[in-house]
Structure 1
């Protein structure tokens, strides 16, 4: 496993880490036995950073990670969670006091201190409210949080966030279908020594290369019900790319794969080519998925001609759909 610093936190995190959205909910049926096996396999393979949120299965994935900590008490690892999306209504003013949600996450996680608390894609107005970040500073001083950061939808939100000195990390969608963060934000984050967590690294599974026009998604799977942003931001589902056009791009991408390299491995290794990224956080619902994800860290650097071809594919097929939206 490759390890990289997470900003100024002093933590070195596995470059391929574990995103726990899929084992919590809104990704179809969940299987706790398989999920726990996947979590254990991740630790066995050197993963030491797990990302979750209080809304993933209404705390279910947090509780699974608490169980992992009990079962693997001798293996140190970092759990990051998020707060804010349980606000009803979900408005900027609610972010002034997240303590009730943080206390619930502490209970779910079975701990006294959250190692990294992230604001969970708050309204843009939050980044004009210094009192929100002052309250988080107070929670760090009180020992409830060790560090805090943000998860964002938009690049302008990420740029605003890193101006607050207490923000240690930014989680942002960055993958082969969402390349814009590399233009301005990633260099700015690196200069500010802010950690970057690349979420949706496989574009909701589209970049696994396993979907077809006939693939079916359950009624409780956001890949079926949120394609036009019906439930939350459209960009969270297939990176905002039209499903049919995404499949067409994947077929062209398939022809660029080096021999013996799966599409998922290529997509993850492409993210790690940018040194500003602390970790990519793919989900893993089975040990086999974890194995494939983690093995991407073992691949050699992608050659320049391949990087150029991937950039060209993005420019032609994907950028017209998404580049200016987030």
Structure 2
């Protein structure tokens, strides 16, 4: 495993880390603590030292499972969580320093800890990024020793650029994959200038970029890939990166021709993300131990050639750009 610096946090973290939405989120399967612990332990065994969770993943069960495993290990493992999505209706007016401080307190209780390594605003409405009092609230929490760092998880590149104006923002979590190239334009350069860590989420486009799906693939009714394709429950860009499923399948077939051979497309899709030095870590999820092994293969693959990088760009331009580029 290779390690990269996470911006102003100073943390040296695994370039392939673990996202736990699938461990405790809307993927059609009920939360299973034993399975979660096996997945998390498997990741740490392989050198992963950064785990991303959220208070809304199975209503705090994911936070608790992550913390339980991390406490049982001797290794230094950094835990990032998120807050804000509990606000219903999810509007800018619902965001107050008092509410957010309360969510941080709840996360501390869920994880049975005194300090959170990294707390992230969880994709708040765009208007929230124009409210200095929200960001000042986290500075007070840092002074109180309840958090070590503040980050943001965003839907829009413009939101990330707005967030970076606040000096206490240390990281930006953003969707970045072969079907979502926009962050690699202005955002990455600005992040480098401001020493902001980039956490790349949804790197496999909700499974599309595994290359294992077909037009016959079906999903559990409780899986967001079944019920959120048009943004019925939350931003549709979180589901298949906002790409039409059938169009995505066509693009994937072309990508497979760029990466023939024994390694699955998923590993190459993750390795592609790591080709961007501004990315501090990529956080694929896993619902079973074998997926951890598959994800970590990316760290062992050779660098992509210029021809391969250009091939991905051409597939994006042909199939994806028109429908997603300016939306996020």
Is the pair's TM-score, using the shorter chain for normalization, greater than 0.5? yes
2:80 is matched with which residue?
Answer: 80
SS in 2 for 1:255: helix
SS in 1 for 2:58: coil
CA separation in 2, counterparts of 1:95 and 1:7? 26
CA separation in 1, counterparts of 2:78 and 2:220? 31
Unaligned runs of 5+ in 2: none
1:66 is matched with which residue?
Answer: 67
CA separation in 1, counterparts of 2:243 and 2:109? 37
SS in 2 for 1:312: helix
CA separation in 1, counterparts of 2:163 and 2:126? 10
Unaligned runs of 5+ in 1: none
CA separation in 2, counterparts of 1:49 and 1:286? 18
SS in 1 for 2:266: helix
CA drift of 1:88 comes to: 1.8
| 1:303-314 pair list within 5 angstroms | 303-314=305-316
1:207 is matched with which residue?
Answer: 209
CA drift of 1:216 comes to: 1.2
CA drift of 1:325 comes to: 0.5
CA drift of 1:8 comes to: 1.2
1:233 is matched with which residue?
Answer: 235
2:29 is matched with which residue?
Answer: 29
Answer whether contact 2:24 2:58 (CA < 8 A) is retained: yes
CA drift of 1:138 comes to: 0.7
CA drift of 1:320 comes to: 1.1
1:14 is matched with which residue?
Answer: 14
Q: Is it true that 1:291 corresponds to 2:299 in the alignment?
A: no
SS in 1 for 2:38: helix
CA separation in 2, counterparts of 1:71 and 1:138? 30
Answer whether contact 2:101 2:137 (CA < 8 A) is retained: no
1:132 is matched with which residue?
Answer: 134
CA separation in 2, counterparts of 1:26 and 1:88? 17
| 1:236-247 pair list within 5 angstroms | 236-247=238-249
CA separation in 2, counterparts of 1:99 and 1:156? 25
1:187 is matched with which residue?
Answer: 189
SS in 2 for 1:58: helix
Superposed CA offset, 1:54-83 (max 9, x none): 0111111111112212332x1220110000
1:274 is matched with which residue?
Answer: 276
Could you tell me the TM-score, scaled by structure 1's length?
A: 0.98
CA separation in 2, counterparts of 1:248 and 1:259? 19
2:261 is matched with which residue?
Answer: 259
CA drift of 1:259 comes to: 2.1
SS in 2 for 1:59: helix
CA separation in 2, counterparts of 1:42 and 1:239? 25
SS in 2 for 1:228: coil
1:164 is matched with which residue?
Answer: 166
- Where has structure 1 moved over 3 Å in runs of 4 or more? none
